[in-house]
Amino acid sequence: MKENTYLEKMVMTASPAKLVQMLYEKAVEVLKEAENLLADKKFVEFNEKVTRAQDIITELNLSLDMEKGGTIAQNLRALYNYMFQRLVEGNVKKDVEKIKEVRGMLEELLEVWKEAMKKAGNVTPPEKKQGGLNLMG
């Protein structure tokens, strides 16, 4: 219970840039879990984890600022849509390769994002409005 309180505090005080990092990290984590669950033939739990990753990708997609983001936002939107579709296919067909593909893409995005945050000094002020995704589950 103490860990959830800590995580909740982190989410509530995180900058938008840090929240994106946390979403990438959580998506990678749940997809790793999904891969293990599929190997163990735990299909219901597998579905729950893949659906969780789809929710995270939807949240990332909705957080894009298409006006200010220009080409980068357009490219990310296309990438998020592709990842979402691959997860749907991987879930329906129980295809671990599609899940691994998306996890790999998210891991790369996470590394690029961390580098960008270092270079920018992560100075983005927190916004009042935050997404509705629960990182606790």
Mapping DSSP to helix (H, G, I), strand (E, B) and coil, where does residue 64 land? coil
Domain at 14-120, CATH class: mainly alpha
Distance between CA atoms of residues 122 and 16, nearest Å = 9
- The pLDDT tens digits along the chain (137 residues) read 455 676 566 667 778 888 999 999 999 999 999 999 999 999 999 999 999 999 999 999 999 999 999 999 999 999 999 999 999 999 999 999 999 999 999 999 999 999 988 888 755 444 444 455 554 45
* Token duo for residue 30: 């749940």
* Token duo for residue 79: 């990438």
**With the C-alpha atoms ordered 40, 99, 88, 4, is the resulting torsion angle positive or negative?**
positive
Q: Which amino acid is at 1?
A: M
DSSP H helical ranges for the chain: 2-13, 16-39, 43-62, 66-93, 96-120
Entry pTM: 0.81
